[in-house]
Structure 1
Amino acid sequence: MKWKILFFSLLGINALMIVLLLFYMFQPFPSPNIPNIKGEGPTFTVQTSKQHINTLIRDYIQKHKKEGELSYDVQLADRLYITSAIPIFGKQVDLKMAFDPNVDESGNIILAHPTMTFGRLRLPVSYVLAYIEKHASLPNWVKVDAKKERIYIVVSDILIKKGYMLKAKTFDLSKDDMTFTVTITK
């Protein structure tokens, strides 16, 4: 009689183990906690130099120059320089503007602390910037603020390719360190 009790106890334990095994087998596996990121896609950091940016600027100017417009050149050195020559009385007079570029918290470049000369004559900055703001055909990503004597380059509005957004991270001419982030928005 003792063997019957042990047999049914062992049978009950085995049945309980099978029921528990089947119960845990059919339970859903908890998924790992992965945050759902919406909006921005992957971001890449691109570091470049003054020489490479000068090449990009020169190519952009040549590609977008319209017939009959005043020719100009943009050069990164110790400051950002914009130079041109304006014909007056049959003679070319040099126009030179110099700016200190900085990056704001939104990833845009601010051209500040300008100096402007026409030949050897120093020009009032606010008047020249007001004239440029009214009469120059600038890209939509260049904003002139004559009152604050600044030019804003809205880097995120520069169209690289649809679905890509650009922001400036650093723009240090003295260290030759220009860093941008490229985010894939699609």
Structure 2
Amino acid sequence: MRKKRFNIFKYLFILLILAIIIGAGFVWFSVNSTPVSESKTAVSQKYNHDATPITVGLNKKQLNALSTYYLEKVQSSSNDKMDYKFVVTDRAYVYGNIKLLGSKIKYVLALKPKLLSDGNIQLDADGLEIGKLNIPPKFVLSYVSRNYKIPSWVKLDSKNSKIILNVNDFGSKDNLSYRATKIDMNGDGDFKFQVLIPK
């Protein structure tokens, strides 16, 4: 009669496979279970029609300089240790770092801007690279919405892989209103905004 040998590596391998499956399930559940309430995705209706409009035009270089200035100001005053940049070239891109398994890993989120009828801007996330992996954009949107303080006029909809820039709400502190009127990504770019000064 042959004696059956106990092979511990067989059981350790099975435990490893189970741990990977459970870990992947946890990540999937975490990404997909972050419901965005209607109030977070609702587009702002604040637009003062009795205000005096001033039109401001920017090209890609000017828009990048403005976003760099604003983000540096926000990031230096934040305790979240946020580290990301917003750059417009052929598309809009967010470059940053995400902490994963104790390491900082670089990510690039590709966005396609779309002008909404009320003057706000919708950024549709259509690509995300973390390290050398291409993964669904909703992963990083969900992570950022849970772990970082985002300005109140920026709404992240991780379920639909969208970012809504409520430009109308941007100037609520100084009683100014803003409205995007044109987004042209061709060539040097042409971005037009109305600044509404109350009468």
Q: TM-score, normalised by structure 2?
A: 0.67
Which residue identity lines up with residue 182 of structure 1 in the other structure? Answer: V
Letter in 2 for 1:181: Q
Q: Are the equivalent residues in 1 in contact too, given 2:107–2:129 (CA < 8 A)? A: yes
Distance 1:91 1:146 in 2: 23
Aligned counterpart for 2:129 among listed residues 117, 135, 143: 117
Find the aligned partners of 1:125 and 1:90 in 2 and give their Cα distance: 21
CA drift of 1:131 comes to 2.0
Quote the Cα distance in structure 1 between the aligned partners of 2:197 and 2:80: 37
Rg larger for: 1
Q: In the TM superposition, what is the alpha-carbon distance from 1:177 to its structure 2 partner?
A: 0.7
Range 123-132 or range 113-122, more displaced: 123-132
The answer to whether residue 92 in structure 2 is matched with residue 80 in structure 1 is yes
Paired positions, count: 149
Residue identity opposite 1:72 in structure 2: Y
Measured in 2, the distance between the counterparts of 1:127 and 1:88 equals 12
Greater RCO between the two (CA within 8 Å, min separation 6)? 2
CA apart distance, 1:126? 2.2
Residues 151-186 of structure 1 deviation map (CA, whole Å, 9 limit, x = unaligned): 000001112862321100011112401011111123
CA distance in 2, matches of 1:77, 1:39: 33
Deviations along 1:83-111, one digit per CA (max 9) or x if unpaired, are 11346688753211010111100100100
The 8 Å contact of residues 64 and 86 in structure 2, kept in 1 or not, is answered as yes
Partner of 1:26: none
Compared CA separation, residues 169 and 132, structure 1 to 2 (3 A): same
Q: Within 5 Å, which residues of 2 pair with 1:119-134?
A: 119-134=131-146
Query: Is contact 2:82–2:148 with CA below 8 Å preserved after alignment?
Result: no
Task: Give structure 1 stretches of 5+ with no counterpart.
Answer: 1-37
User: Percent sequence identity over matched residues?
Assistant: 28
From the superposition, tell whether residues 126 and 85 of structure 1 become closer, same or farther in structure 2 (CA, over 3 Å).
closer
Paired letter, 2:190: D
Mapping for residues 2-41 of structure 1, pairs under 5 Å:
40-41=50-51
User: Which residue number in structure 1 is paired with residue 158 of structure 2?
Assistant: 146
TM-score (norm 1): 0.71
Show the counterpart of 1:48: 58
Provide the alpha-carbon RMSD of the alignment.
2.3
In the alignment, what sits opposite 2:106?
94
- Name the structure 1 match of 2:32: none
2:82 match: 70
1:151-170 alignment, distance < 5 Å: 151-159=163-171, 162-170=174-182
State the SS of the aligned residue for 2:163: strand
Residues 1:165 and 1:92: Cα distance change in structure 2 (over 3 Å): same
Counterpart of 1:171, as a letter, is: I
2:197 maps to 184
Stretches of structure 2 that go unaligned for 5 or more consecutive residues are: 1-47
Instruction: Give the conservation status (yes or no) of the 8 Å contact 1:107–1:156.
Output: yes
